[in-house]
Copies of this chain bind each other. A is one copy, B any other.
Amino acid sequence: MDNFNFYSPTEFVFGKNTEENCGELVKKYGGTKVLVHYGSAHAEKTGLLGRVTASLEKSGIPYVKLGGVKPNPRDTLIYEGIELCRKENVDFILSVGGGSCIDSSKGIAIGVLYDGDVWDFYAKKVSVTKALPIGTVLTIAAAGSEGSGGSVVTKEEGGLKRDVGSDLLRPKFSILNPELTTSLPAYQTACGATDIMAHVFERYFTNTKEVEITDRLCEAVLLTMVKETPRAIKDPKNYDVRANIMWAGTVAHNDIVGVGRSQDWNSHGIEHELSGLYDCAHGAGLAVVMPAWMEHVYKHDVMRFAQMAVRVFGCEMNFENPEATALEGIYRFRKFLHEIGMPINFEELGAKEEDIPVLVEKFGIGDGQTWGFVRLKKADVEQILMNAVKAEL
């Protein structure tokens, strides 16, 4: 097992009606003037935004509002948020939405306290040394940003999608009410579930041997998602199903399922170029990329893919031919994604084979290679995307 630090200081407040506590929680963590940052008109229509601001008012905490976060959040709104926070002397950001909203809030949180261009953090020119504190009221189980120190943002100009990470970006508190997710359409539910599973797989495929505890924790989240996701599609109002998925989404990405070993993250990197170019849902892009990546790399460690097949997808181990088990596991994962309504190839995603050179170019490794479970060169990325173009069951 590799040495590691694990630090997840966020207070998670989970369950029905928990958004009513947000005023008191902001106060507990020292906020005196709040930016309420949110996404769509959905939060307004459902009354959630009203309940959040009512809670702030009840706790005597003044606030300003900034809506308009889009999926694949843009740098442009972050600049606007930074300016607003400075003008209004905001000292706490309350993010009401999904991963995009939280990631946008994190961008604002580091930008407010930085004299230069906030994109410097995403371009890896500077590291995060301070940030405004953040709280979240989560509305979709997917990105895990409510418990993570990461933020992924798209540069409006050119569609570059880049990330920044720091423990300073972990929210002080996150309110998770599964009831807020029961009205999500099936497609968004499935996109979120795919993202959650991908967060685990990025950590599951490792070159570090003998980390049984982390393997088993990964499998715990994956088994939960395999059981609960189809139930959420069929029975969207089922509270317990939504609750299991919502908490699994947090556990999948606060790194408890990743510690003590090398991780991969190449599927995420490749997908970012797809959603950067086509503005598709991140989860949908992952559904297309991840099995294609698996097909390209499984020979690197056949037994690890066989383990996934047996432990997660209930395959019988083929002791005479472990490779067949490995491939059966990948097949079942893609079939699972298809059955929950995800695209599994370029056509279904709305991507085009002729764009592959552009996607590879934007991926930006030049003649180098990536880090990860299998280090990818340009030709590997091309092959993975080609696998994705023509994938079928």
Contacts and interface: CB of A to CB of B under 8 A. Distances in A.
A256 B251 contact: yes
11 contacts: A1-B240, A4-B14, A5-B11, A5-B13, A6-B12, A9-B11, A14-B259, A213-B244, A214-B247, A216-B224, A243-B260
Interface string A245-258: 00110010000100
Interface stretch (A204-212, A298-306, A340-348, A367-375): A204-212
A244 B2 CA distance: 11
A220 B210 contact: no
4 tightest Cβ-Cβ pairs between the two chains A and B: A3-B15, A216-B220, A9-B9, A210-B240
A184 B211 CA distance: 21
A244 B1 contact: yes
Interface in A1-59: 1-16, 18
When all copies of this chain in the complex are counted, the total is 2
Contacts of A163: none
Contacts of A11: 5-7, 9
Given A9-B11, A211-B240, A212-B244, 12 more contacts: A1-B178, A5-B12, A5-B13, A6-B11, A7-B11, A8-B9, A211-B244, A212-B223, A213-B221, A216-B224, A217-B220, A247-B259
